[in-house]
Structure 1
Amino acid sequence: MATASIPEHLVPSELGTKDYWDKLYARELSNHASNPSDIGTIWFDDSNAEARMIQYLTSHHHRHNNRDHTQAQPRSPSPALDDDQSSVLDLGCGNGSILFALREQHQFAKGRFLGVDYSHASVELARAVGRGQGESGEEEEASDIDFRQWDILQGSYDDVLTGEQSNGWDVVLDKGTFDAVSLSNDEVQGRRICALYPERILPLVKTGGIFLVTSCNWTEEELVAWFASKNGTPCPAFEVVGRVDYKTFSFGGVKGQTISTVCFRKTQNATAGHR
């Protein structure tokens, strides 16, 4: 994947506003209270993105690779996937579905899991879903997944970089959060906040750890341009180590996907940024 120049910004929409997400998750929280089987929206479910992201992580995990030496196994993209206590941080956790599903995989049964969202209603929904799954016995580990309100762009790193994760997390997930940020019209010092997002992500990932991001608004090449370049030139902070395949379509002789997932690894050359 060649590094491209920084893409043009998306046209802002209501999906880039906190008010939109507060109202959506308040409604889903109310629906869940009335009907516990209704856990809310699983984003990109029509592309099976959540399952494919989890499959990518588990298939590259050493505990999977060590089970069958008779077949060629995918090479682990990161030493962060080389033990059974990999820590996972989910940015923009929504209802927490990807963390609940990932926890069910034996490769990720022990590590610390944290989901963060800037919407209080989202955090309350994720906690309620977790309590419900624990009570029903569907997922005994649901209660050990932590959810808290935290703003990726403005929150203090001290709130999420604590204990064994003080130097970053093994795995950081983003399923549609960068999309929402990219649709915001907010600016900081004359820059759209999506341009600040890659800088804010960097300290959250430990050296050698991975950042797995899924988008429906950006192509693979554009994601690489955002996260593995700086001002249009290659940046040593993140390197591309993998991708997820989805169904492709052709239009006008050009082949593409409706959704993109790229895996980045934080390199030894990365600077931690400001805490």
Structure 2
Amino acid sequence: MSDAGERPRDSPGPGPEFGPSALGTKEHWDAAYESELQIFQESGDAGEIWFGEESMIRLIRWMEKQKIPLDSSVLDIGTGNGVLLVELVKDFLTPSAELSGFQICIDKGTFDAISLNPDNAAEKRKQYVKSLCTVLKMEGFFLITSCNWTKEELLNEFKEGFEILEELPTPKFCFGGRIGNSVTALVFQRKK
């Protein structure tokens, strides 16, 4: 679970309303990536792999299992420090006409960050889904890894235009006699 938007993974209710956080602001991420870039230039350190290396491998293995063609177009939404793109060899909330036709879109934490935006997070989430529908081809795949949303909540957020294909296995933990996941990883397909 992220330190931003702290709440139990199994909390009841129709959906989360996360408290505002610096993690939901463009300024925070601009500063974070500027710092990572400087560290990379000075030492060659690629920085943190969000949700751990196993989350990256989980996505790549799923694509291999599905026999996704190697020449498929892939959009890594948010990109972070770009480590996933390196392994696989534009402002998303307002996509241009050129940003469309992707066969696969991947999100590791960007939807989480958007959900923490202090300025109308619910509207930003709706815009995210609308943008995703714009850039992803019909019957294209959307792979999302989240530390703030449960499977059921993500199914609700992406019910318009998407159907669930599968839930990818993620590490489990036990606390207070209850078993849960700290991360949710789902594969959706864009409906026709």
Q: By the TM > 0.5 criterion, same fold?
A: yes
Structure 1 stretches of at least 4 aligned residues deviating more than 3 Å after TM superposition: 250-254
CA distance in 2, matches of 1:194, 1:239: 17
Among 7, 16, 34, the alignment partner of 2:15 is: 7
Identity score, percent = 36
Deviation, structure 1 residue 252: 4.7
Choose from 102, 106, 112 the match for 1:179. 112
Distance 2:16 2:184 in 1: 17
Matched, 1:89 2:75: yes
Q: Distance in 1 between matches of 2:188 and 2:143?
A: 6
Larger Rg: 1
1:30 to 28, 32, 38: 38
Any gaps of 5 or more consecutive residues in structure 2? 1-11
Aligned-residue CA RMSD (Å): 2.0
Equivalent residues in 2 for 1:1-275 (5 A)?
Answer: 7-36=15-44, 38-45=45-52, 48-61=54-67, 81=68, 83-103=69-89, 150-154=90-94, 156-161=95-100, 168-187=101-120, 191-228=122-159, 235=160, 237-268=161-192
TM-score (norm 1): 0.61
**Deviations 1:225-245 (Å, cap 9, x if unpaired)?**
1112xxxxxx4x100001210
Tell me the amino acid that sits aligned with residue 100 of structure 1. V
Count of residue pairs the alignment pairs up: 181
Calculate the TM-score normalised by the size of structure 2. 0.86
Structure 1 unpaired stretches of 5+: 62-80, 104-149, 162-167, 229-234, 269-275
1:135-188 deviation line (CA, Å, top 9, x unaligned): xxxxxxxxxxxxxxx22113x422412xxxxxx211001011000000101238
